[in-house]
Amino acid sequence: MSIFTGAGVAIVTPFHEDGSVDYEKLGEIIEDQIANHTDAIVICGTTGEASTLTHGEHLKAIKYTIDKVAKRIPVIAGTGSNCTETAIMLSKEAESYGADGVLLVTPYYNKATQKGLIAHFTAIANSISIPVVLYNVPSRTGCNILPETAVTLAKNVENIVAIKEACGNISQIAKLAALADGCIDIYSGNDDQVVPILSLGGKGVISVLSNVAPQETHDMCQKFFDGDVAGSREIQLKAMDLIDALFCEVNPIPVKAAMNLMGWNVGGLRAPLTVMEEANQQKLAKAMEEFGIKLA
């Protein structure tokens, strides 16, 4: 059984003016996401700026989210690292807090061979008993999980059950779906490829868009599952300009700007990320309004 089907939000981490994590605001965002039918919360992923949180902040954010959600929907904790031992530590802690699964990004900077990826992910998965979602995002990590590697892991490690595919290469994802033949759940990691990946048998999306349009992102998936492919496609195509604006600078710069434009007051970004360029912010605001999002 899948950890979730539909739209899982790759949720932002809000900050106070002094740069500390604003847990109260995080709680408000979580409640709004659940009210707008988000199907899962993914905490401390790329969008959540996990790479610039301390280990203490990282673990506190995971525990806070699990406690706040209180089993209403699944919580998947981002616990990946380019250090296998660190990823094991974070994953064990997330499991002890009650996470429904973990999201493990490929090792970045030091990277790995395909053999190394198998060893890395196997060691982490074997240290816990909850489900593991692999996260393939070579544009950020310089490391690509080949379809054969994902299938090998899914067939040989019991709790490696899914992959978030953000390689951007729909042909590679189609090959993965063909080789897997259902042995691994596939989630879109790119908001502009949700419907194409659903058409290949995907289970949903782990979404940046869901931060600002949770109901619509949920509906895009649900309509597809209900057989309303035209309705699903309509939402996908309507969202394309907004998705483009949400990725016109490196994520999560635009999505935090978008949430601040909506009045969420999620704060700034941890260095080395910087405030969005004014021209891009104007483009973002225009795309949001055209999509039907009310600005503060």
Q: Which of 135, 187, 203, 223 is catalytic?
A: 135
Burial (CB count within 10 angstroms: exposed 0-12, middle 13-18, buried 19+), residue 60:
middle
Rounded to two decimals, the pTM is 0.97
At residue 104, the 3 state secondary structure works out as strand
Q: What is the pLDDT of residue 292?
A: 98
133 forms beta bridges with 103, 162
What are the pLDDT digits (tens) for 192-239? 999 999 999 999 999 999 999 999 999 999 999 999 999 999 999 999
Structure tokens that stand for 222 in this block: 């649900």
Q: State CA 39 to chain mean position distance.
A: 12
What are the pLDDT digits (tens) for 234-246? 999 999 999 999 9
Q: What is the pLDDT of residue 208?
A: 98
Q: What is the pLDDT of residue 39?
A: 98
Q: What is the chain's alpha carbon radius of gyration, rounded to the nearest angstrom?
A: 18
Residue 164 annotated among the catalytic residues of the structure: yes
Q: Which of 164, 203, 223, 256 is catalytic?
A: 164
Q: What is the pLDDT of residue 1?
A: 78
Task: Classify the phi-psi angles of 7: left when phi > 0, otherwise alpha if psi is within -120 to 50, otherwise beta.
Answer: beta
Residue ranges of the chain whose pLDDT lies below 70: none
What are the pLDDT digits (tens) for 87-99? 999 999 999 999 9
